[in-house]
Amino acid sequence: MTATKSASGVFHIGGELPVRRIGFGAMQLTGPGHWYHPTDMDAALAVLRRAVELGVNHIDTADAYGPETSEHLIRKALRPYPDDLVIATKGGMTRQGPNRWAPVGRPEYLRQCVEISLRRLALEQLDLYYLHRIDPHVPLADQLGVLTEMRDEGKIRHIGLSKVTIDQINQALSFTPIAAVQNRFNANESDRKMLDHCTRTGTAFVPYAPLDQGNLAQPTTDADGTGQLSPAQRTLAWLLGLSPVVLPIPGTTSLDHLTENLDTPIPLADVVRG
């Protein structure tokens, strides 16, 4: 999969979808336990709108966030969408309550997930669609087969995988190209072998929980040597410097934190090993 990055900090997902390397993760724009509506709907809408105003053109969501809440908020806040906005969503996870999740990879269910996300987001095509989790009880060929069919039908542009191993990626590649991988990755939890794999193959690597749910954004007196960056900015700059394929998606419900995250400088070097 061809991928490029410019000096301005832009990466091309699938070799063709240019996105700013710092995106926005919409998972937090739901209630406690990622369940139901946020406490302040207006604040959630304001964060989404401000993110786009500040240059974000890669928003990550999933039908399981809420469930459904996050996709509804994106539509309400941002439609009509800017021409360059890439909305990535996911399917294949069911919800049984706050902080409860279970994968379902039956082809008929995944087809339903795609169709309803298209309707919920008011889109004719999903730019990037992740299999949210691989269902161990359903053949991977069946799970990716239906997503490939829907890509061929024009309903999905690129396919991604979430929370996977390198072996699972290699298995998936026998069925379809994989444009992006989204795994948990931060300074406290890092899988360098996965990062190196994505770097070698030019696959977008989208670390979720890049700030370890705020643990890496705590105040500190350490200086970064290039002017005083906040802990969150220093952490995001470290991630960006690891590889040009890294696309962090920090999420927040705070306008101040949003601005802080997006003010993170893009490292000049394409690859800086941390």
Nearest one of 108, 98, 131 to 32, comparing CA atoms? 98
Note the pLDDT tens digit of each residue in 145-174: 999 999 999 999 999 999 999 999 999 999
Q: Which residues are catalytic?
A: 65
The pLDDT, as a whole number, for residue 39 is: 93
Instruction: Return all residues near 187 (Cβ < 8 A) that are at least 6 apart.
Output: 212, 216, 235, 238, 274
Instruction: Tell me the average confidence (pLDDT) per consecutive run of 10 residues in the chain, 274 residues long.
Output: 50 97 97 96 98 98 98 98 98 98 98 98 98 98 98 98 98 98 94 97 96 72 62 95 96 97 79 34
What six digits make up the tokens of 151? 């890509």
* 120 phi/psi in degrees, rounded to 5: -65, -40
Buried b (16+ CB within 10 A) or exposed e, 23-58: bbbbbbbbeeebbeebeeeeebbebbebbbebebbb
Q: Pairing between strand 100-103 and 180-184?
A: unpaired
* pLDDT for residue 267: 79
What was the pLDDT predicted at 271? 37
pTM: 0.92
So what's the pLDDT on residue 147?
Answer: 98
Query: 67 is written with which tokens?
Result: 């469930």
pLDDT digits (tens, 9 = 90+) for 16-34: 999 999 999 999 999 999 9
Residues in the chain: 274
Nearest-angstrom CA–CA distance, 67 and 71? 9
Query: What is the spatial distance between Cα 86 and Cα 57, in angstroms, rounded to a whole number?
Result: 6
Q: How far apart are CA 112 and CA 250, in angstroms?
A: 28
- Candidates 89, 80, 84, 35; CA nearest to 60 is 89
CATH, domain range 10-262: 3.20.20.100
Strand, coil or helix: 192: helix
Instruction: Measure the CA–CA gap between 126 and 105, rounded to whole angstroms.
Output: 19
